Amino acid sequence: TSCGILVTGGAGYIGSHTCKALAQTGYAPVVYDDLSNGHEEAVLWGPLVRGDIRDTARLTKAMADHDVFGVIHFAGLIEVGQSVHRPDLYWDCNVNGVAAVLEAMRSAEVGRLIFSSTAACYGTPPNDSPLSEDDSLNPINPYGDSKLAGERMIAAYCAAFGLTAVALRYFNASGVDAEGQVGEAHYPETHLIPLAIEAALDATQPLTVFGDDFPTDDGFCIRDYVHVTDLAQAHVLALEVELGASGFEAMNLGRGRGSSVMEVIDAVAKACGRRPAYSLGPRRAGDPPMLVAEPSRAMARLGWTPAFTDLQAIVDSAVAWRRHRRFGAPASLKSVA
Ligand code: UDP
């Protein structure tokens, strides 16, 4: 039987970690990536097909050539702040990308899709409770809108055309492969943990904390940081899960525990042996005070148990990678800012 899995965006951060988990489980990942943000050095567990995510014909051919039975669709734009300034890019790449993947799956008769979704689908939570999949979906930025539109397109295709799909709503992906084969490298970097590590290890690198007056215990923003290797494992499990009549299910992926920006800075200080210097800035547009997952559906439905339970271990893995190895900027990096 076929064990080919097309991994769009497989040269990126979560995509490359997922390729490793797939290979370790006996699947044959085939990476489909344009290397606009991904790294060729991160493609270690199967072939690379270079292509645009909106190119239905190329996607169809990649699925047919490699005898693919499932697709994991990571390729997309991921920055909340950028999406506010360039919504055109987000609607184009994230929505037309899903459309192309779905059409290619119909043509190549591929039955299972796993979709990279996000906690940004929920918008600002109504209260302090962890978010469950039944909470209302009200994105507050074009990034969240474009990902929710992708989920809805996928659900409609499942209902109408008999595909099956799981949308995995990530909270804050963080940490790095324990063996350091792949890691996290965004250009420019915007995520808190890598920026705080950079600031701790290199005093010339600035770190700005976005707001200290949130309605939380210490006044800093709270997020649910979940290790990328745990995320990767959930994708592998989702490939084989039995789905109900609708053929579509969304699941949160988080640890179910929140950490404030200052708790992250403390963990980085401990891992690096040096506190990162930071300045205090205004709140970032589109940042809710608290985003924490209720992950019990993924745990029950997928048999998923995150192995990384505490923030310190997650941060330690990111620091180890930063000290030993880094990916350079992608050669083809297109400036879209
Ligand atoms: N953050 C910050 N300074 C930065 C980047 C992020 O204070 O330079 C905060 C941000 O406001 C949020 C948390 O760190 O509360 C995580 O942000 P990140 O961009 O890492 O992930 P996101 O939650 O946007 O997916």
Q: Which of 176-190, 243-257, 281-295 has the highest mean pLDDT?
A: 243-257
Count: domains in the chain: 1
Answer whether 31's CB lies under 8 Å from 43's CB: yes
Q: Give dist(CA 154, CA 89) in Å, integer.
A: 20
Instruction: Kindly give the distance from the C-alpha atom of residue 298 to the centroid of ligand 1, in angstroms, as a whole number.
Output: 24
Tokens of 202: 């290199």
In degrees, rounded to 5, the angle at the alpha carbon of residue 184 between the alpha carbons of residues 318 and 303 is 80
Q: What are residue 301's phi and psi, to 5 degrees?
A: -80, -35
* Residue 261 within a domain: no
Residue labelled with tokens 């992250």:
264
CA of 192 to the centre of ligand 1 (A): 5
How far apart, in whole angstroms, are the C-alpha atoms of residue 285 and residue 209?
A: 13
Is residue 168 situated within a structural domain?
Answer: yes
What are the C-alpha distances in Å from 74 to residues 18, 133, 228, 331? 10, 20, 13, 20
Please determine, for residue 333, whether its predicted confidence score (pLDDT) is greater than 80: no
**Residue 294 near residue 152 (C-beta atoms within 8 A):** no
In a domain, residue 276? The reply is: no
In a domain, 326, yes or no: no
> What type of residue is 167?
A
Supply the angle between the helices 13-25 and 228-238 in degrees, to the nearest 10: 60
Give the CA distances from residue 253 to residues 130, 147, 305, in Å, rounded to whole numbers and listed in that order: 12, 15, 10
Containing structural domain, residue 25: 4-174+225-255+293-307
Is 172 near ligand 1, meaning CB less than 6 Å away?
yes
The residue whose CA has the least distance to atom 16 of ligand 1 is: 192
Distance (Å, whole) CA 301 – CA 235: 12
CA dihedral 17→19→25→27, nearest 10 degrees, is 170
Specify whether the CB–CB gap between 182 and 17 falls below 8 A.
yes
pLDDT at 187: 79
Atom of ligand 1 nearest to the CA of 174: 20
Question: Which tokens belong to 62?
Answer: 């990649």
Task: Out of 13, 143, 157, 225, pick the active-site residue.
Answer: 143
Residue 209 lies in a domain: no
Return the best residue to mutate from 79, 80, 210, 213 for the ligand 1 pocket (most ligand atoms within 8 A of CB). Answer: 210
Tell me if 216 sits within 8 A of 289, measured CB to CB: yes
Cβ 223 under 6 angstroms from ligand 1 = yes
Q: DSSP string spanning 80-97? A: HHHHHH-HHHHIIIIIIH
pLDDT digits (tens, 9 = 90+) for 254-281: 999 999 999 999 999 999 999 999 999 9
Average pLDDT value over all residues in the chain: 94
Q: Verify whether residue 143 is a known catalytic residue.
A: yes
Residue to mutate, 169, 170, 261, ligand 1, most ligand atoms under 8 Å from C-beta: 261
Q: Which residue has the higher pLDDT, 325 or 188?
A: 188
Rounded Cα gap, residues 326 and 336, in angstroms: 23
CATH number at residue 61: 3.40.50.720
pLDDT attached to residue 89: 98
Task: Check: CB of residue 316 under 8 Å from CB of residue 191.
Answer: no
- End-to-end alpha carbon distance in the chain: 44
51 in any annotated domain: yes
Hey, CA dihedral for 101, 250, 292, 10, is it positive or negative? negative
Q: Is the CB of 192 under 6 A from ligand 1?
A: yes
- Pick from 190, 212, 223 the residue to mutate for probing ligand 1's pocket: most ligand atoms within 8 Å of its CB: 223
Nearest CA to ligand 1 atom 19: 191
ipTM: 0.98
* Strand partners of residue 131: 293
Beta bridge partners of 8: 32, 73
Distance 191 CA to ligand 1 centre (A): 6
**In this predicted model, what pLDDT tens digit does every residue of 126-151 receive, in sequence order?**
888 999 999 999 999 999 999 999 99
Ligand 1 binding pocket includes 278 (Cβ within 6 Å):
no
Q: Is the pLDDT of residue 297 over 70?
A: yes
> In ligand 1, which atom is closest to the CA atom of 291?
23
